[in-house]
Structure 1
Amino acid sequence: MTSAPIVLAFDTASARCAVAVTRGDDVLAWRVEEMAKGQAERLLVICSEVLDEAGITLADIDVIGVGIGPGNFTGIRISVSAARGLALGLNIPAVGVTAFDALGYGQTAPFACAVDARRDHIYFQITAEDGSTSDAAIIRLEDCPPHEGPLIGAGGRQATLPIAVAIAHLAGARRNDTPQRPAPFYLRPADAAPAKDAPPKILT
């Protein structure tokens, strides 16, 4: 009998650091810290604190789950870099999960997902009743197209689970899908040059 995987998942695609640790369907610990900047300095600190709360060490982790966007350019870059580094150092898979998949986790299709893109815009995707999805797009909030089912996320109802918890569950389920290294999922170019601060250093 194979034991349930232990997953460390995190997301910094918006103005927050969200971290969770799960074992199979069980949520061992999770935390969200709202912050407009400073994710690079706080992410691994919060990961360490959440692992301690869960009674888990890095050596126990089987999978890294990471939010790949869409969202803030620098925030996505920080979390994806951290996930790649941790996965390499621990020799475990890292699984990227889009914000749309995390928002839609546990929802019954049909529905639509929206992520705040700032400046009165949203990142938008529709999931049809058969589970198929539309192409992700960035649109004005007022131009949100008609769709069946509820809107989840920005301008709509809350997701079923906290973002990092949903990412952890999805990463655990997808860990054997021979995932490639997680890569940022951008729907528009960065508003400015990447921040000068380096991604967090991975200590192993």
Structure 2
Amino acid sequence: MAEARFPLLAFDTSAAHCAAALVTPQGLFTRFEPMQKGQAERLMPMLEELLAEAGLPWAHLAALAVGVGPGNFTGIRIAVAAARGLALGLDLPQTGVTSFEMMRDPAHPHSHPAELVSLPAPRGEAYVQPFRYGAAQAAPRLIDPACPPADLAMPGRMQVTGHRADEIAAPFAGRALTCELENIPGRLAQVAVWKFACGLAQNARPAPLYVRPPDAAPPSDPPPVILDADRPETTDRAPLDADV
């Protein structure tokens, strides 16, 4: 049977911040620092400070959790790489927590039979993902909140939670809870504890959640020609010692 694991260390660098939480039987310790860059340099010292405040060594940790996005491409990779390295070095179970899961009500993560969670996306769009009693029902997708696709409709009394929820819910006559993601360390910790306690933390290596590929185009140059090693090279050029 699954059980909560304490002390649990969780952290997130998926946006313009460095956030961390440490859950112990004695209480919750958190850190949150807004920053546009520098998360790679700040993350490990922040975790050290959190453990020192709680009076715990690394060896006393029981589990890890990490925010996997969606969010900033580089930021997500910083936290995920750190979580993988720590889990391997300390032999700890680990789980990823998505920003969609954090946007939901962390006090009642198993609630709502038909919930569509919305996060802000670039260029005025939104990332959305459907949930049933806290479990994701499909992969997240990118939509225009002003014109949500009809196939987003969910059976039952549908609720839309998060970014521009009122616009998205209107065509489906659903309830709307318009809100933004706040208290990231606290929400991350609560969701992580719930996932371990309910057996939803599969202890698989956390992977970044990208709803859309990074804004980088593949090279346009044609690939090099690979010569067949079993066939002699042919060329129209004259030999170097030929008369020209």
Q: TM-score, length-normalised on structure 1?
A: 0.78
Contact 1:100 1:125 in 2 (8 A): yes
Deviation at 1:178, TM superposition (A): 4.5
- The answer on whether the counterparts of 1:95 and 1:182 sit within 8 Å (CA) in structure 2 is yes
Q: Displacement of 1:8 after TM fit?
A: 0.3
Name which of structure 1's ranges 9-18 and 27-36 shifts more when overlaid on structure 2: 27-36
Residues 3-38 of structure 1, C-alpha deviation per residue, up to 9 Å, x if partnerless? 8521100111111111001136x6420121111111
What is aligned with 2:21? 20
Moved more, 65-74 or 15-24: 15-24
Report if aligned partners of 1:27, 1:165 keep a CA contact under 8 Å in 2.
no
Structure 1: how far apart are the matches of 2:30 and 2:6?
16
Kept after mapping to 2: 8 A contact 1:111/1:152? no
Partners of 2:164 and 2:16 in 1: how far apart? Answer: 14
Match of 1:157 among 170, 179, 188: 179
Aligned to 1:189: 213
Q: CA deviation at 1:172?
A: 3.4
1:187 Cα deviation (Å)?
A: 1.1
Correspondence for 2:116 among 83, 87, 112: 112
Identify which range, 49-58 or 131-140, moves more after superposition.
131-140
Structure 1 match to 2:55: 55
CA–CA distance in structure 2, aligned partners of residues 182 and 15 of structure 1? 20
What's the offset of the Cα at 1:132?
Answer: 5.8
Q: Is the 8 A contact 1:30 1:165 kept in 2?
A: no
Matched residues in 2 for 1:133 and 1:176: separation? 14
User: Greater relative contact order: 1 or 2 (C-alpha under 8 angstroms, separation 6 or more)?
Assistant: 1
Unpaired runs of 5+ residues, structure 2, are 166-177, 218-244
Pick one of 98, 116, 127 that aligns with 1:123.
127
Change (3 A) 1:115 1:89: same
| Aligned partner letter, 1:50 | L
Alignment correspondent of 2:231: none
CA 143–48 in structure 1, closer or farther in 2 if over 3 Å, else same: farther
The 3 A distance-change label for structure 1 pair 88 and 28 is same
- Residue identity over aligned pairs, in percent, reads 37
Q: Would you say 1:143 and 2:155 are equivalent positions?
A: no
For the Cα contact (< 8 Å) 2:14–2:67, is it kept in 1?
A: yes
How big is the shift at 1:124?
0.9
Partner of 1:202: none
When residues 153 and 82 of structure 1 are mapped into structure 2, their CA distance, relative to the original with a 3 A threshold, is farther
Query: Within 2, Cα distance between the matches of 1:101 and 1:141?
Result: 19
- Alpha-carbon distance change, 151 to 171 in structure 1, aligned in 2, over 3 angstroms: closer
Measured against aligned partners, the alpha-carbon deviations of 1:125-150 in whole angstroms (never above 9, x if no partner) come to 12246956343111233334667224
Contact residue 11 and residue 163 of structure 1 kept, 8 A: no
2:75 partner amino acid: G
Partner of 2:137: 133
Tell me what 1:198 maps to.
none
The answer to whether the 8 A contact 1:63-1:171 is kept is no
Distance change >3 Å, CA 122–CA 75, structure 1 → 2: same
Paired residues of 1:124 and 1:136 also in contact (CA < 8 A): yes
Amino acid corresponding to residue 157 of structure 1 in structure 2? C
Code of the aligned partner of 1:70: P
Count residues in correspondence: 191
